[in-house]
Chains A and B, each alone.
Chain A
Amino acid sequence: MMNKTKNVVNNICKQIGLIIIALVIATIFLALSGYDPIAVIRGLMESISGDIGGTIRWATPLILAGLAICVTYKAEVFNLGVDGQLIMGACAGTAVALVIPATLPAGIAAPLVIIVSMAAGALYALIPAVLKVYTGTNEVVSTLLFNFIATLFLEFLVTGPLTDKTSGVALNASAIVPKNTWLPRISYLAPSTANIGFYIGLILVVVMGFIFYKTTLGHEIKIVGANRTLAKYAGMNPNRSVFQVMIISGAIAGMIGAIEVFAIQHRLLAGFNPGFGFDGIVVSLLANNNPFGVLFSGLFFGALINGGINMERATDVPSAVTDIVMAIIIIIVAANFAIPRVRGYFRLYRKADNPDTGVKGGKTE
């Protein structure tokens, strides 16, 4: 038990170290390009200390996307289609919101559109799952390509069937959704757009943690991910697990779409999704695919992105700097897997370079 705690602390320290390295490198980049070198760090500090609302606003979709990624990752299924699924969720939710009577009480209308969004996201995730199970199509490819379909479908909707006819100009957006479907914002953090989506995220973190570590479903997902032949041999149904994780992942993605539309934009916009799905991969990666870790890594990236936006507003430092930080983190995490191997390789060859049988020379490690 002691060992376990030590392990957890070790891991956390490692991830924090990783973040610090990334920030230092980003700072060097900024200095080299002639910007204020500590801009990123300043933005980050301000996100944490000043603009907590903004941080929460951006952390919410990132936490959810991180959860959507980590659930599939546990089963060794790779869902790169969170973006597509959240777009489809937003589309379906908006479509329903625009047709249901505006007199429906908010207590029914808001949950209804969320559920519709989640169902649409789940259904859209189910297609690549079916293709994978029945035709052997690689889900990495199919989910990625389904993103393009979703993006174009969204553009079609907001310029065609769902376009806002009341405004005179072409907006590439739907009409404002009726107020009874709006999701409440956190009044304490007003005027930011931080909303109850954050609470949903918190609850989902706990729920996913429970599913992973306490339920038979979680155990099956783990075994399927670790060794599919073993799962089959032990009487599990690996295909069913693939469906399960993709449905859960797609539903969470759909929830992101609903939150973006009904809590923040209040309408369906062509470019409303800045790529939460892919950011979710980084969030999950930094969290070691642990749902509780996802909460913190989501908050960190939320602060980072929010800091970048604030920074751009106040100074001339482009918010794209935050992308550099993210990219560096991806590279370092990937290097984390590779470095021990590379080092082993070099050690082998360094030794080989030593004169053959000489008793002296060469350091023994």
Chain B
Amino acid sequence: MAYAVEMLNITKTFPGVKANDNVTIRIDQGEIHGLIGENGAGKSTMMNMLYGMFEPDSGTIKLNGQEVRVSSPHTAIRLGIGMVHQHFMLMPNLTVLMNIILGSEPQKRGLIDVAEAKKRINAIMEEYNLPVNLDEKIYQLSVGEKQRVEIIKALYRGAKILILDEPTAVLTPIETDRLLEVLRKLKCQGCTIIFITHKLREVLAITDSVTVMRKGVVTGTRKTKDTSIKELSELMVGRPVDLNVPRKEFNPGDNILELDNISALNSRGLTALRGVSLNVRAGEIVGIAGVEGNGQSELIQVISGMIKPTGGKVLFKGKDITNFSVRKRRLTGMSHIPEDRLKMGLAAKCSIRDNMILNRYFQKPYSRHGVMNNKLLSEFSDKLCKDFEVLTPGSEYAVSTLSGGNMQKVVIGREMETNPNLLIAAQPTRGVDIGAIESIYRRLIAERDNGKAVLLVSAELDEILMLSDRIYVLYEGEFVAEFNRSEADEKKIAVYMTGAERQGAKDDE
């Protein structure tokens, strides 16, 4: 049987970078094929060539054994290739229906035949179990729903080969499960799926075979059933990776951070936190587990001082800091890795240096009487780039030239350099490849071992379990459970995350 997709000896060079060097990928008919690799390994470039976004310098692409030239996404769609991009390509102000049929509307007497369109889309939604309300506007949808719209869009156009570019990076665990379910169904119906991801567990859970890329070349192709996380991560990083970072014995010190009955509103003025209390001690990592959107963002913003709580007190090193400004909190020893590095943690247009110096630019010796010592600041920033292994020719380059993982290193370097008593780490490994994840884990554990307090907020339950000494579960703005490291496991926590149970209530029985 012919392969569904063959990309043979593909080479693609961008000015100054060889993105793909003689890469060959073969994908069987009707399989789910994982394509994994670190950031910048060339996965997306390969898929963009398959989807016609650009053409290879050399090499051939074959579909079902026939050589084709995919010169544009239009051609790709005509050939039955669909792609769900990492950043959705949807019009926020149009309805779901309009987004799906945009560009290939069924027509009747020169008008859009809405009834026909709905009929066709409903058939697809039913067949693959992809429910979405067709009359809602895109901006009203959750991330998971938007992704479903993208998948329906591809299927509506008759895609038989579906490319998904890091589809789970933006999803909650429950949404991820649902997506994987959908993919299995698509496979049963004869679709061929190419699944780009960082997350090895998902690869093992759903794919039939895997291609691993590193630095523009394929480092291995495996049948999923014959491989392991360990082997795959070695192929990806080029050296053995161990996320189980050894840690010192648990020996917590004094309370560093205490929240006492904190309530807060979200940006839309609705209650986001209802009387939460917690404490983080020196020398421990406290994890906040929970499905995103249950008050995590507001919790972090209250602690870091970006919003004022409507009730309750924040104590830091025993002092009431509820009314401290952000800067004052930072100066008393608080650091914060934000959950969304591009929205909150970095100015992408500005240079790496401009971003690196944010905690220091106003302090002696880096500036005196409001005049900055630019030379000293550049040295400072260059040194941090080196210490935190930011891959860049120099810190005068714009942050937007960096990959996601390197951007995160800039944020982490800046926030750790101040040697804080408390480090708030929100989604510290989001969109970061496994090699970088390992180094971030090592740094967080090192902070803990050095007697610092770390508050870890993450949507990845694995991450919480792997790193935390204690775990709180946040559900609808309340802590519904608290665990010690030894008593926590994934199943137990997941029950509380969905709000199915709460610890207090259970104890009453």
Contacts and interface: CB of A to CB of B under 8 A. Distances in A.
Contacts of A217: 370
A316 interface: no
Interface string B38-77: 0000000000000010010000000000011111111100
Interface in A208-259: 213-217, 219, 222-223, 226-227, 229-230, 232-236
A364 interface: yes
A226 to B, nearest CB: 4
Given A222-B347, A234-B330, A362-B71, 19 more contacts: A214-B371, A215-B370, A215-B372, A216-B372, A217-B370, A223-B350, A223-B354, A227-B346, A227-B348, A235-B328, A236-B327, A348-B72, A351-B52, A352-B74, A352-B75, A356-B71, A356-B75, A357-B68, A359-B67
B326 interface: yes
A348 B76 CA distance: 13
A11 interface: no
A343 interface: no
A216 B362 contact: yes
Contact of A235 (B73, B325, B367, B372): B325
A352 B72 CA distance: 6
Interface stretch (B192-200, B231-239, B288-296, B336-344): B336-344
Contacts of B325: 235
Contacts of A234: 326, 330, 358-359
Given A352-B72, A356-B78, A356-B79, A230 B67 contact: no
Interface string B101-133: 000000000000000000000000000000000
Nearest 7 CB-CB pairings of A with B: A235-B327, A226-B347, A351-B72, A235-B326, A352-B74, A234-B358, A227-B347
Contacts of A235: 325-330
Contacts of A348: 72-73
B173 interface: no
B79 A233 contact: no
Interface in A348-365: 348, 351-352, 354, 356-359, 362, 364
Interface of A: 4, 213-217, 219, 222-223, 226-227, 229-230, 232-236, 348, 351-352, 354, 356-359, 362, 364
A351 B71 contact: yes
21 contacts: A215-B371, A216-B361, A216-B362, A216-B371, A217-B370, A219-B372, A223-B347, A223-B350, A226-B348, A226-B350, A227-B343, A233-B336, A235-B325, A348-B72, A348-B73, A351-B74, A354-B71, A354-B72, A357-B69, A357-B70, A362-B71
Interface of B: 52, 55, 67-75, 78-79, 304, 306, 325-330, 336, 338, 343-350, 354, 357-359, 361-362, 367, 370-372, 374, 396
Contacts of A4: 396
Contacts of B67: 359
B306 A233 contact: yes
Contacts of B55: 364
Contacts of A358: 69
Contacts of A227: 343-344, 346-348
A233 B344 contact: yes
Contact of B358 (A223, A356, A362): A223
Contacts of A223: 347, 350, 354, 358
Nearest to B70: A357
A272 to B, nearest CB: 36
A266 to B, nearest CB: 38
A215 B371 CA distance: 4
Contact of B343 (A219, A229, A359): A229
B87 to A, nearest CB: 17
A351 to B, nearest CB: 4
Contacts, number: 89
A348 B328 CA distance: 51
A345 to B, nearest CB: 12
A226 B79 CA distance: 42
Nearest to A226: B347
A219 B353 CA distance: 11
Contacts of A236: 327
A101 B406 CA distance: 66
B67 to A, nearest CB: 7
Contacts of A351: 52, 71-72, 74-75
A208 to B, nearest CB: 14
A352 B52 CA distance: 10
A219 B354 contact: yes
A235 B344 CA distance: 12
B349 A226 contact: yes
A232 B329 CA distance: 13
Most buried by B among A215, A229, A234, A364: A234
Contacts of A362: 71
A230 B354 CA distance: 12
Given A235-B327, A354-B71, A230 B78 contact: no
Nearest to A4: B396
Contacts of A214: 371-372, 374
A362 B69 CA distance: 11
Nearest to B373: A214
B69 A359 contact: yes
Contact of B354 (A216, A222, A354, A364): A222
A348 to B, nearest CB: 6
Contacts of B326: 232-235
A4 B396 CA distance: 9
Nearest to B363: A216
A226 B354 CA distance: 11
B363 to A, nearest CB: 9
B337 to A, nearest CB: 11
A220 to B, nearest CB: 8
Most buried by B among A214, A354, A356: A356
